[in-house]
A and B are shown apart, each in its own frame.
Chain A
Amino acid sequence: MDKWQDNRAWFMVLPVFAIVAISAIIPLMTVVNYSVQDIFGPGQRVFVGTEWFKEVLTNSRLHDAFIRQLIFSTLVLVIEIPLGVLVALALPKRGWGVPVSLVLLALPLLIPWNVIGTIWIIFTRPDIGLFGAAINGLGISFDHTANPLDAWVTVMLMEVWHWTPLVVLLAYAGLRAIPEAYFQAARIDGASAWATFRYIQLPKMRGVLTIAVLLRFMDSFLIYAEPFVLTGGGPGNATTFLSIHLVKMAVGQFDLGPAAAFSLIYFLIVLLFSWLFYQALQNVGTGDKGGGR
């Protein structure tokens, strides 16, 4: 296939390029400009070079927020991806159960993110919340506003409840796209359920799982609204993730320069991790340990 036969199709991409330029590239350029200056107001700015980068990179509170963020995103992936695949495998394949389960699963995804936080505040309140009161009724002390561990458990529960359905829907779509002939062949060969999963279903889900891992990593790494509403980053700084720290810096303290420098570092981290995940998942199951497509 010679992909350079007709290049006129590229003109079709121009509108998208214009939209991306206005919505992403120009704002990103502005952030780069802000990151090397001390901005006092319109027209009042001083060039400071890499000072903000130095300040941000050596800030211990930011290091703590980064470690917290890494732990959070790792837990999200470790819990949500296997759980999502398991639920997708357990879903009905035909009949009235299919639309019912899909609609029920999609419900958490339709709720605005700040409302999710509010729902969970009420749900986990130790005095009137169904979850909080029930746990306390069992004799286990639970208060996400005072205890850091309880705050983490609540944020993780909320995150898993909110986003595992996305993984389920993606995995289910991947599973339904596998031709029946593969399963017939597996049955003829007397393959066990595990072997069918390991050698047919899992490799066939590679594409959708790549998207699921990338989306869940990026979203969880950039998470803001839900924990901000639920815990406000507390108790103390226990659930202050990177974006909460960033917003405090940019909007709370109006430190636009350091916030811009931090945003760029944040962007580079997300870019690196996403690229690494993408490469790793592209190379899974190709029989080539080093790579290749």
Chain B
Amino acid sequence: MTLEWMAWTTPTAIFFVCIALMLVGMTVWQVAMPSIERRGFLPIDTTRGDRLFIGLLGSAYIHLAWIGLTDLNLWIATGLSAVWMLVTMRWG
């Protein structure tokens, strides 16, 4: 079976591998140490999975805002997203 129809590129492949690794990692973490709902700076009670979702969704919007509103290097947006992700996971 050829995957030519899916038009894979190296950057998108790396992107999906990272997402898959994140999901596998979170699953292993959950089995080893079940998450307990808690309240951080976000206005709702969240589990680790909720915070990962919020972190990823926020990161997507940070990138879109960066592309739509500025002409600066996209890696800065990726850096900002990494910070947002860490802050959300730790203190969200």
Q: Name the contact of A29 in the complex, choosing from B6, B39, B53, B61 (C-beta under 8 A).
A: B6
Given contacts A37-B9, A265-B64, A268-B60, contact A291 B4 (CB under 8 A): no
| Interchain CB contact (< 8 A) of B5 among A7, A30, A271 | A30
Q: Are A36 and B64 in contact (CB under 8 A)?
A: no
Interface contact A50-B9, CB-CB below 8 Å: no
Interface of chain B: mostly helix, strand, loop or mixed: helix
Tell me if B25 is interfacial: C-beta within 8 Å of chain A: no
B6 lies within 8 A of A33 (CB): yes
Residues of B in contact with A, size category: 20 to 34
A85 to B68, CA, bound (A): 40
- Identify which of A33, A37, A271 gathers the most chain B CB atoms within 10 Å of its CB: A33
Q: In the complex, A58→B64 CA distance in Å? A: 11
Measured in the bound complex, the distance between the Cα atoms of B68 and A292 in whole Å is 35
Q: Give the chain A neighbours of B8 by CB distance below 8 A.
A: 33
Contact B12 A33 (CB under 8 A): yes
Write out the residue numbers on chain A whose beta carbons fall within 8 Å of the beta carbon of B67: 50, 53-54, 57
Task: Decide: A57 and B68 in contact? CB cutoff 8 A.
Answer: yes
Interface residues of A in 15-30 (CB under 8 A from B): 26, 29-30
Smallest CB gap from A55: residue in B: B67
Q: How long is the Cα–Cα vector from A230 to B45 in the complex, in angstroms?
A: 45
Interface segment, one of A38-46, A153-161, A217-225: A38-46
State whether A53 touches B57 (Cβ < 8 A): no
Contact, CB under 8 Å: B44 / A29: no
Question: Within 8 Å of chain A (Cβ to Cβ): is B36?
Answer: no
Picked from A7, A34, A53, A291, the residue with its CB within 8 Å of the CB of B7 is A34
* Structural contact, A33 and B9, CB atoms closer than 8 A: yes
B15: which of A7, A30, A32, A275 is its contact (CB, 8 Å)? A32
- For residue B15, which residues in chain A have a CB less than 8 angstroms away from its CB? 32
Interface contacts (Cβ under 8 Å), in number, total 65
Chain A nearest CB, measured from B70 CB (Å): 10
User: Assuming the A-B contacts A29-B6, A34-B7, A272-B57, are A53 and B45 also in contact, with contact meaning beta carbons closer than 8 angstroms in the complex?
Assistant: no
Asked if B72 CB lies within 8 Å of chain A CBs, one says no
Question: A47-B9, A50-B74, A291-B39 given as contacts; is B68 within 8 A of A272 (CB)?
Answer: no
Q: Could you say which of A39, A57, A283 has the most chain B C-beta atoms within 10 Å of its C-beta?
A: A57
How many angstroms from the CA of A271 to the CA of B53 in the assembled complex? 11
Residues of B within 8 A of A4 (CB): 31, 34
**Nearest opposing residue in chain B for A275, CB measure:** B57
Alpha-carbon distance between A30 and B16 when the two chains are bound, in angstroms? 11
Query: Cβ of A36 and Cβ of B60 under 8 Å apart?
Result: no
Q: Report B49-92 CB contacts with A as 1/0, cut-off 8 Å.
A: 00001000100110010011000001000000000000000000
Residue-wise, chain B 4-43 has the 8 Å CB interface mask toward A (1 for contact) of 1111110110011000000000000001001000010001
Q: Which of B7, B11, B12, B31 has the most CB of A within 10 A?
A: B7
Question: Does A279 belong to the interface (CB within 8 Å)?
Answer: yes
Q: A53-B64, A291-B45 are in contact. List 4 more A-B contacts (CB 8 A).
A: A30-B5, A33-B8, A39-B7, A42-B5
Across the A-B interface, give the 7 residue pairs with the lowest CB-CB distance, nearest first: A57-B68, A291-B44, A33-B7, A30-B6, A53-B67, A290-B43, A33-B12
